[in-house]
Each structure stands twice: as structure tokens, then as C-alpha cells.
Amino acid sequence: MSIVVTGATGHLGRLVVEALLDRGVPAEQIVATGRRVESIADLTERGVTVRHADFTDPESLLAAFAGADKLLLVSGSEVGQRMSQHRNAITAAAQAGVGLIAYTSLPHADTSTLMLADEHLATEQMLVEAGVPYVVLRNGWYMENYTTQLPIFLEHGIVGSAGTGRVSAATRADYAAAAATVLTEDGHAGSTYELGGQSFTMTEFAAALSDVAGREITYTDVPVEQYSQILVGAGLPAPMAAAFADSDRGVAEGQLYIEGNDLERLIGRTPTSMPEALAAALRN
């Protein structure tokens, strides 16, 4: 068996490779791919095959996917270009004879009004049309979207547009463990999993951060447009700022709240809680 992981040069893809190794998959059966293969060259020392793959280069994808039984298609990071890039990857996978494609999508992609949803839903439709067995992993919000901002939160407090909405966030490592499960077990083809951890509001997040930091941290809610401008002022490009602010709108409207326990069932344990993730991030 051969399992190919795209985006292994990124955070989630690399964690999936590690999760596969932790599950006992022989290193020689794992192919880690990405554009900047020098950043994962260390994996070759552990027996993992490393191949160059660029979503904009169909020939590189066909070569990278050669001989693959299963493929994890980690969604591309270039918003606005993902439909064409994902089409290239799915077409190459079909041509290479891949037996199963697992794709990392967005919660409730078929009903979501988030700016980020369109490309994910289009990709899910491409999978249906490709005729290759597939699994959709609708990953919720990453806990790291918050924990990487802890220095800012601790200095300036927390600002956003999430209102009293609940977000079902989980760590990348938990999502990676779920991906490793569907890539190593039978019976997942045709499934769509809504994945998320224990939900919380941003006021609850601020209270938990206050507890672990030992001082009061507050959450201030502002209109979406104002939040977008704040993000631009903090240095984010305008399109990215708009997408993040729009995601907070989605939180406020319940679009990033996930019912059920798909993530817990796939990883076989309770997902890392928000307080646990905060404590770990502050220790590091």
C-alpha cells in the first residue's frame, strides 16, 4: 500500500505524515509531497519518500501520485486559485489510478455562506464527478488560528466579530489523526465527516485565557467591516483580512459550530480542549 500526502511541507500535511507513522504505517509506504521539498528532506532519513508536487503543474502531480493507493488532498492555501489547483490534483489522481481520495474541506460546505466555502464545495463536486472513491473531511476551525495570536491577545486583548456564536475548534494534530484514520482503515469511502472539537464562544475563550495567563483578558466585539479594517491595520492583506472577518461572521451565525462527535469517533479519544490547547501554547 502507498499513501500520498499533499501539502506535507505545510503544518497539517506534515502532522498527517507523523500521524501515519505513529499508527505504524511503514515509512516506505508513505509519500510526502509539496512544492518546497527541501523543508521535508529530513523525512527521507526516516524512510519516507519525498516528491515534488505543485498544484499548478499537472505533470508534477501525475509523477507524485504514481503508484498511490490512497491520497490525502490537503486543500490549497491560495484562496481564489484553489478550484483550478484542486481540479489538477483530482484529475492527476484519477489518471494515476488512485483508489481513494480524502479531501480536507470546510464545515457545512454545502450550506455555508462563508467566503471560503465556494471553493471547497466546488472541490467536493469535482470529487463526485471524478468517479474515484473519496472521503470528505470537513475540518472545523483550527485552534491554532487563535493560539498563534496569543502574544497579541495578551498585550491588547481580543477583538473580533464572533458575537456570542460558538466555534467548534480543534488542533491541527487532532485533524491530522482523523485523516490518518481514514487513510489506514477500510469502510470510509463515500463518507462526509463534520469535524470539530468542544465548542466555545470568544468570551469563554477570553475567560479561559485569563485563567491560564493569571490576569484578565477581555473580548471586544465589533462590526465585521471594522474588524476587517483592524486586521488590515495589523498587516494582513485586504483579501485575507476580509476572509478572516467574514469567518467571524460565520461564527456569530453558528456556521462554524459542529454537532455530533465525528472527530472523537475517528481519533478514538476526546479532542484536545481549548483550555488544554491554551496551556500548551503558553508553555511553548
101: which residues sit within 8 A by CB, 6+ positions away? 70, 71, 73, 90, 93, 127, 130, 132, 133, 134, 135
CA distance 50 to 135: 24
Q: Are the CB atoms for 56 and 88 separated by under 8 Å?
A: yes
- pLDDT tens digit sequence for 25-41: 999 999 999 999 999 99
Residue 263 lies in a domain: yes
What is the chain's Cα-based Rg? 19
pLDDT (0 to 100) of residue 76? 85
Whether residue 114 has pLDDT greater than 90: yes
Residue 46 lies in a domain: yes
pLDDT (0 to 100) of residue 81? 78
264: which residues sit within 8 A by CB, 6+ positions away? 270, 271
Residue 108 lies in a domain: yes
Residue 215 lies in a domain: no
- pLDDT tens digit sequence for 143-198: 999 999 999 999 999 999 999 999 999 999 999 999 999 999 999 999 999 999 99
pLDDT (0 to 100) of residue 65? 97
Residue 27 lies in a domain: yes
CA distance 193 to 263: 8
Q: What are phi and psi of 113, to 5 degrees?
A: -105, 10
CA distance 156 to 167: 22
SS3 of residue 180 by DSSP: helix
- List the beta bridge partners of residue 101: 71, 134
- List the beta bridge partners of residue 142: 170
Whether residue 278 has pLDDT greater than 80: yes
Q: What is the DSSP letter of 215?
A: S
Residue 163 lies in a domain: no
Domain with 11, as residue range(s), is: 3-139+171-194+259-270
Residue 80 lies in a domain: yes
Q: What is the CATH number of the domain that holds 130?
A: 3.40.50.720
Q: How many other CB atoms are found less than 10 A from the CB of residue 170?
A: 28
Has this prediction a pTM greater than 0.85? yes
Residue 147 lies in a domain: no
- Residue 20's Cβ-side half-sphere holds a number of Cα atoms within 13 Å equal to 33
pLDDT (0 to 100) of residue 100? 98
Q: Where does the pLDDT of residue 280 fall: very low under 50, low under 70, confident under 90, or very high at 90 and above?
A: very high
Burial 224-235 (b: 16+ CB within 10 A, else e): beebbbbbbeee
Taking alpha carbons only, the member of 19, 263, 269 closest to residue 141 is: 263
CA distance 35 to 51: 9
Tally of domains within the chain: 1
